[in-house]
């Protein structure tokens, strides 16, 4: 165990002294500020984000003494999760602790002294998070030939730019939301290219865009040469990353023909040279031409892994655990041939020893029809769920676990390329050493149950399911991740279907209104019309469905969820005009219905509830079931899930 892990374990055995909270906060921050240069940039961001959030909560009107005390304790506990804090301020943290907690009883709120302490930023760094800044929408402007002859030996420039106004012509126009701290400090956007049918002549598949607030970026240029000369569509993907986590994906195709295209002649490259492309002079990084360059800004945003909870007075605010970027991102890209998955590992902070590394590909003949690829596995899991009861004996329970492990192991064998299998065991060692913890799976396909993959081989033995072994998040490439959410109001969709688990979940949400950190819960929605009115209006940050649903294998956009009076709602009902109100809230969506999370391809792309909730409702998180779940387990899981998020 590392020294930091040992110190953290020692701190966890003790409670903070209520009488010394103000002093402890002041001493810990003073120590950190005195050695600020020794704190990593990521940890600086984490500390300052927590400090800013605490100041905001403490300065609200109506804070009671008990609430203030809890906020200060939570702030200090949050600091304990940051390695630099434990390493540099262990003595100050421990000095503020004792073996048991004694309530002060007469506290009337935050003292002026602690507010002054928290309002001060380190003298050497400033506080880029103090003002969150404005979020500005940018369009992707992408230029590349629509078709290329199989005999073409030219190097073709792929030109990528972020622009304010919708471009008249673009191979892929995707809207990206980009936050800015101030108008003179640019944001840096990494662009990662995945184009399996082409070779990038510099062998660098990553570019950086420098973006000033309200201005078009300079273009970034990839130099591509045709590698796969077979005729047909070749798919190209551009993943955009800001501060280490994905903000969007632009996808388009270029057709390879067996004859000359007859279209505009592409830019030709002389032998040994590069295409001549004229662009405006590039400004110096950190400043505009003619202006002094400001001090480099620290990263400003939170990244994802498992969510942590900041307990505020108004609602529940969920943020990334210590505003760190994901330790590891597994990018899974689907090839245009509908048979191949390409794997890439990314480590935004290079904790793995690299920032980007190709991890091979797998060819799955059934990939085009996921029901053929995964249908047998889901059928087995469905059967396990039907047989699971309270009376399940120990031997039967162990057999169920072993069956699920077997399914996960089969998926590991089929889906992980050899390169990824070899690297996985090295990542496991880094995880066990405490170097990495968070894993984000960013995938074009929406149907593989990555969560239950169970790595196993004869040399290394078994790891746990991915969802149990890692702080795991999965996301569908396209829409940006939302780093934070403040849940103040919840809406439950629970039609009166005389189902016991529906009644249990309704009662659970009713009790939330009387909890120490209350959430406003409206009366349950029971009809289709009321549901449609809610998503048009918005005003809630949590949508919880407790009902029955089914999966339409022929058209997932018609997979119904049952409402009262025999009415149903389907993913088709979540059209963009209808969801304008709820989309502004970026809610958490929990769909506790059989088959609720399973997806299928439709004629226009990916369909189903999960895809619609992410792309039309702009959900911050979506929780749904891939296979059947019993009513009892469904209710137990949802209550356990919410209790964990609320810190209980």
Contact call for residues 260 and 148 (beta carbons, < 8 A): no
Same domain flag for 115 and 145 = no
Collapsed DSSP state (helix, strand, coil) of residue 642: helix
Structural domain for 158, as ranges: 135-257
Q: Would you state the pLDDT for residue 298?
A: 36
Assess whether 460 and 555 both reside in one domain: no
For residues 546 and 490, the answer to whether their CB atoms sit within 8 Å is no
Q: Is residue 318 part of a domain?
A: no
* Residue 431, in any domain of the structure: yes
Predicted pLDDT of residue 59: 53
Q: In this structure, are 198 and 244 located in the same domain? A: yes
**pLDDT, tens digit, 9 for 90 and up, residues 308-324:** 333 333 455 554 433 45
Taking the CB of residue 499, how many other CB atoms lie within 10 A of it?
18
Domain count within the chain: 4
Do 603 and 639 lie in one domain? The reply is: yes
Give the contacts of 159 (CB within 8 A, at least 6 positions apart): 141, 142, 143, 144, 219, 220, 221, 277
- What CATH number did the domain enclosing 611 receive? 3.40.50
254: CB partners within 8 A, 6+ apart: 144, 145, 146, 147, 148, 233, 234, 236
Write down the residue that tokens 């004792």 correspond to: 98
Q: Which two tokens stand for residue 338?
A: 């509908």
Q: Please say which residue of 476, 502, 530 terminates a domain.
A: 476
| Lowest mean pLDDT, pick from 106-120, 274-288, 365-379, 443-457 | 274-288
**Chain mean pLDDT for the chain:** 78
C-alpha 120: how far from chain center: 31
Read off the tokens for 106: 């007469």
At 467-519, the pLDDT tens digits run: 999 999 888 887 777 767 778 889 998 887 666 667 778 788 878 767 666 78
Residue 195's pLDDT is 92
- Let me know if residue 272 belongs to a domain: no
Closest CA to 431 of 401, 471, 461: 471
Query: How many Å apart are CA 158 and CA 193, to the nearest integer?
Result: 10
> Would you state the pLDDT for residue 395?
85
**Global pTM value:** 0.64
Matching residue, tokens 């003949």: 365
243-to-183, 184, 345, 348, 645 alpha-carbon distances in Å: 18, 18, 16, 8, 25
User: Does residue 42 lie within any of the structural domains?
Assistant: yes
Instruction: Give the CB-side neighbour count of residue 564, counting CA atoms within 13 A.
Output: 13
The reply to whether 548 and 622 lie within a common domain is yes
d(CA 638, CA 629): 12
Note whether residue 266 is domain-resident: no
For residues 12 and 123, state if they share a domain. yes
* Bridge-based pairing state of the strands 232-242 and 245-257: antiparallel
Q: Does residue 224 sit within a domain? A: yes
Rg (alpha carbons) of the chain, rounded to whole number: 26
* 503 and 641 together in one domain: yes
For residue range 435-446, list pLDDT tens digits in order: 999 999 999 877
Last residue of a domain, one of 476, 494, 518: 476
Examine the domain organization and report whether 638 and 502 are in the same domain: yes
Whether 447 is covered by a domain: the verdict is yes
Residue 270: predicted pLDDT: 43
Residue that terminates a domain, selected from 257, 281, 308: 257
Q: pLDDT digits over 167-181, tens only?
A: 999 999 999 988 886
User: Is 292 inside a domain boundary?
Assistant: no
Residue with tokens 């509908």: 338
Token pair listed for 136: 């500005």
User: Is 314 strand, coil or helix?
Assistant: coil
Q: Among 16-25, 85-94, 621-630, which stretch is predicted with the lowest mean pLDDT?
A: 621-630
Same domain, yes or no: 92 and 142? no
Is the same domain home to 512 and 636?
Answer: yes
| Residues 620 and 506 both lie in one domain | yes
Q: Are 262 and 148 in contact (CB under 8 A)?
A: no
- On whether the CB atoms of residues 67 and 54 are closer than 8 A, the answer is no
The larger pLDDT score, comparing residue 521 to residue 98, is at 521
CA distance 155 to 214: 33
Both 107 and 146 in one domain: the answer is no
> What CATH number did the domain enclosing 149 receive?
2.60.40.10
Per residue in 35-46, pLDDT (tens digit) is 888 888 888 888
């Amino acid at each position: 165990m590392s020294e930091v892990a040992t110190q953290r374990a020692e701190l966890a055995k003790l409670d903070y002294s209520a009488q010394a909270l103000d002093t402890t906060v002041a001493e810990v921050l003073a120590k950190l500020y005195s050695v600020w240069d020794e704190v990593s940039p990521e940890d600086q961001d984490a500390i300052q984000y927590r400090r800013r959030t605490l100041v905001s909560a403490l300065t609200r009107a109506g804070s009671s003494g008990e609430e203030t005390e809890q906020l200060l304790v939570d702030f200090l506990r949050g600091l304990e999760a940051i390695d630099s804090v434990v390493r540099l301020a262990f003595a100050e943290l421990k000095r503020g602790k004792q073996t048991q907690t004694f309530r002060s009883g007469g506290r009337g709120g935050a003292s002026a002294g602690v507010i002054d302490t928290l309002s001060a930023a380190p003298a050497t760094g400033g506080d880029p998070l103090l003002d969150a800044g404005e979020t500005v929408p940018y369009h992707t402007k992408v230029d590349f030939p629509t078709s290329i002859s199989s005999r073409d030996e030219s190097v073709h420039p792929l030109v990528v730019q972020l622009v304010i106004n919708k471009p008249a012509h673009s191979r892929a126009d995707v809207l990206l939301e980009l936050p800015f701290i101030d108008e003179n400090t640019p944001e840096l956007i990494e662009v990662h290219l995945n184009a399996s049918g082409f070779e990038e002549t510099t062998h660098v598949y990553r570019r950086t865009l420098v973006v000033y607030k309200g201005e078009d970026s300079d273009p970034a240029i990839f130099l591509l040469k045709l590698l796969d000369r077979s005729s047909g569509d070749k798919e190209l993907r551009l993943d955009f990353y800001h501060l280490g986590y994905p903000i969007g994906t632009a996808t388009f195709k270029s057709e390879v023909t067996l004859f000359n295209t007859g279209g505009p002649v592409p830019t030709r490259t002389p032998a040994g040279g590069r295409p001549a492309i004229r662009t405006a002079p590039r400004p110096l990084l950190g400043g505009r031409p003619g202006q002094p360059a400001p001090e480099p800004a620290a990263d400003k945003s939170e990244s994802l892994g498992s969510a942590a909870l900041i307990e505020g007075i108004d609602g529940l605010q969920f943020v990334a655990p210590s505003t760190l970027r994901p330790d590891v991102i597994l990018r899974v890209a689907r090839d245009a041939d509908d048979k191949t998955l390409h794997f890439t590992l990314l480590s935004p902070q290079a904790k793995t020893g690299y920032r980007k590394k190709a991890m091979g590909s797998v060819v799955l003949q059934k990939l085009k029809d996921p029901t053929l690829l995964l249908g047998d596995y889901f059928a087995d899991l469905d059967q396990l769920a039907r047989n699971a009861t309270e009376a399940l004996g120990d031997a039967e329970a162990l057999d169920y676990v072993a069956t699920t492990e077997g399914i996960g192991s089969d998926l590991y064998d089929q889906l992980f390329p050899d390169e990824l299998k070899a690297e996985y065991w090295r990542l496991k060692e880094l995880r066990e050493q405490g170097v990495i913890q968070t894993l984000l799976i960013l995938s074009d396909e929406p149907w593989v149950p990555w969560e239950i993959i169970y790595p196993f081989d004869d040399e290394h033995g078994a790891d746990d399911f991915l969802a149990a072994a890692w702080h795991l998040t999965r996301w569908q490439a396209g829409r940006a991740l939302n780093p934070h959410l403040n849940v103040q109001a919840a809406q439950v969709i629970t039609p009166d279907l005389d189902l016991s688990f529906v009644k249990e979940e309704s009662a659970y949400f009713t009790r939330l209104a009387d909890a120490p950190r209350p959430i406003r819960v409206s009366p349950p929605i029971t009809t289709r019309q009321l549901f449609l009115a809610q998503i048009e209006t918005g005003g809630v940050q949590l949508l919880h469905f407790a009902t029955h649903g089914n999966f339409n294998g022929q058209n997932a956009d018609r997979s119904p969820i049952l409402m009262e009076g025999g009415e149903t709602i389907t993913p088709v009902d979540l059209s963009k005009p209808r969801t304008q109100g709820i989309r502004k809230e970026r809610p958490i969506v929990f769909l506790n219905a059989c088959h609720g999370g399973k997806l299928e391809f439709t004629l226009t792309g990916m369909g189903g509830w999960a895809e619609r909730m992410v792309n039309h409702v702009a959900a911050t998180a979506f929780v749904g079931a891939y296979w059947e779940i019993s009513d009892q387990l469904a209710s137990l899981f949802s209550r356990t899930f919410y209790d964990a998020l609320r810190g209980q």
